[in-house]
C-alpha cells in the first residue's frame, strides 16, 4: 500500500495539471440547519444552534434545472431527514437534473424515514445511484457522549442494519458508515470496524476538520469561522500510525476503499507540513456548496460569496458570474484537508490524465 501511494504521489508531481473550466460536477447542499443532535466534533454548530431559513422545493427545483447534470449531490445539514420534503428534493435532482449519484449524510436517528425514502427510490428506479452515509463515531458510550444523545448509537445501528438488509434487493443503492477520527475515539478504530464487519456494513474514515487546523493560505477576509465546539485532531505525530491502523482494517476487509486511503495519506502529509500533490482543482470550479438559506460558497472553509436569490435561483448563472470568478482568484493558492475537495480534485486529475473517462463523455454517451 505504501509503495502504491508513493507511485501515486510521484505521478501527481510529474504530471502537469490545469484548472478546469467552471462547470459544476459535484455539489454539497445543506438542505437544513436543523439538527436533533449537538455533536462535539461538528464544525457547523453555530448555525445548528441558530438555524436559519430553508430553500423551498420550488427554489430547489429552479436550482436543479439551471445547472448541467451533476455527478454527485450530497444532501447534508443539519439532519436532512428532518425535512418533510426530502424525498421530493431527491426526486427533483434525479428527474430535473438527471443527477448520477445522490448521497444523504445522516446521523441515522430516523430509520423509518430512511426506509420510506428507500422504498420510493426502488419504485422510481431513476437510473441514478443513492447512498446513505451514516455517521458512527465510536462504540456505544463514546458515540452517545460525543453526540450528546442517549440512544443514538442503537438507532444508528438499527438504521444501518435495516438499510443493509434492503441493499441486496435494491439496485443502485448502498449504505456506508463514516467515522471522523479525533482525540476522543482513536482507541476504537479496530473494535468499531469489527462490529461493522459483522453487520456487513462498508466503513470509511475521515479526520475531524476545522478551519483553524485544516487549512493553509486562505485570505483572512474570506476565511470561514467553522471549528468544532470542543473536539480536536489527534496529535500530528500520531497520525501516520493511525492511518496504518486504518489501512490494515481496509486490507482485511478486501481493500475496497483505496481512494479513501490515498486521501487519508495526503491529509496526514499536509498536517505534517508537506505540500499537496496537486492543487485544489475542484473548489469553486467543478465543486461547490449551497447552504440552506441559499448562500453559495466555493468550499466549506471559505465564506459564501453570493446568494441564489440575487440570480433567481439560477445556480449556473451565479457560477459563471463575476463574484464566482473573483472568488476563484482568491483561493488559487490555498490548500486544506477537506476530503470532499481532495477526492474531487483527485478525480479531476484522473480525468485530465486519461486514467478514467471524463464525466462529460459519460454524460454524452448516456
- Helices 2-14 and 258-271 pack at an angle, to 10 degrees, of 70
Q: What is the pLDDT of residue 183?
A: 93
Tell me which residues of the chain have a pLDDT lower than 70: 1-16, 361-366
Rounded Cα distance between 302 and 312, Å, is 23
Instruction: Answer whether 230's CB lies under 8 Å from 45's CB.
Output: no
The reply to whether CATH 3.80.30.10 applies to domain 2-365 is yes
Q: How far is CA 185 from CA 63, 145, 168, in A?
A: 39, 11, 31
Residue 15: predicted pLDDT: 60
| Cβ proximity of 132 and 81 under 8 Å | no
* pTM passes above 0.75: yes
Residues with Cβ < 8 Å from 269, sequence gap 6 or more? none
- pLDDT at position 14: 54
Output the pLDDT for position 301: 97
**What pLDDT is attached to residue 364?**
38
All 3 cell numbers of residue 238?
Answer: 500520531
pLDDT of residue 259: 78
pLDDT of residue 276: 86
Residue 208 is predicted with a pLDDT of: 95
Amino acid at each position: 500500500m505504501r509503495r502504491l501511494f508513493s507511485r501515486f504521489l510521484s505521478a501527481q508531481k510529474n504530471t502537469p495539471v490545469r484548472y478546469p473550466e467552471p462547470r459544476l460536477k459535484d455539489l454539497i447542499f445543506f438542505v437544513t440547519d436543523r439538527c436533533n443532535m449537538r455533536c462535539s466534533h461538528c464544525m457547523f454548530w453555530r448555525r445548528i444552534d441558530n438555524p436559519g431559513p430553508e430553500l423551498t422545493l420550488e427554489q430547489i427545483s429552479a436550482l436543479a434545472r439551471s445547472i448541467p447534470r451533476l455527478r454527485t449531490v450530497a444532501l447534508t445539514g443539519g439532519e436532512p431527514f428532518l425535512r418533510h420534503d426530502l424525498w421530493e428534493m431527491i426526486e427533483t435532482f434525479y428527474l430535473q437534473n438527471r443527477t448520477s449519484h445522490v448521497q444523504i449524510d445522516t446521523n441515522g436517528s430516523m430509520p423509518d424515514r430512511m426506509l420510506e425514502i428507500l422504498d420510493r427510490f426502488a419504485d422510481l428506479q431513476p437510473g441514478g445511484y443513492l447512498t446513505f452515509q451514516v455517521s458512527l463515531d465510536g462504540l456505544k458510550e463514546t458515540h452517545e457522549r460525543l453526540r450528546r444523545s442517549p440512544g443514538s448509537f442503537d438507532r444508528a445501528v438499527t438504521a444501518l442494519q435495516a438499510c443493509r438488509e434492503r441493499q441486496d434487493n435494491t439496485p443502485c443503492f448502498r449504505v456506508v458508515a463514516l467515522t471522523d477520527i479525533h482525540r476522543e475515539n482513536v482507541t476504537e478504530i479496530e473494535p468499531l470496524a469489527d462490529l461493522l464487519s459483522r453487520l456487513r456494513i462498508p466503513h470509511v474514515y475521515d479526520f475531524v476538520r476545522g478551519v483553524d487546523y485544516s487549512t493553509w493560505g486562505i485570505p483572512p477576509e474570506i476565511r470561514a469561522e467553522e471549528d468544532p465546539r470542543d473536539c480536536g485532531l489527534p496529535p500530528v505525530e500520531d497520525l501516520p500510525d493511525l492511518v496504518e491502523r486504518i489501512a490494515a482494517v481496509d486490507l482485511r476487509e478486501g481493500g475496497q476503499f483505496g481512494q479513501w486511503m490515498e486521501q487519508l495519506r495526503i491529509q496526514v502529509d499536509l498536517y505534517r507540513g508537506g505540500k499537496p500533490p496537486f492543487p485544489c482543482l475542484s473548489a469553486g470550479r467543478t465543486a461547490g456548496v449551497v447552504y440552506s438559506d441559499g448562500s453559495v460558497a466555493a468550499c466549506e472553509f471559505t465564506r459564501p460569496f453570493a446568494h441564489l436569490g440575487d440570480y433567481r435561483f439560477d445556480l449556473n448563472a451565479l457560477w459563471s458570474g463575476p463574484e464566482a470568478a473573483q472568488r476563484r482568484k482568491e483561493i488559487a493558492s490555498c490548500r486544506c484537508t477537506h476530503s470532499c475537495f481532495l477526492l474531487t480534485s483527485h478525480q479531476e486529475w484522473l480525468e485530465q490524465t486519461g486514467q478514467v473517462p471524463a464525466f462529460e463523455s459519460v454524460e454524452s454517451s448516456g
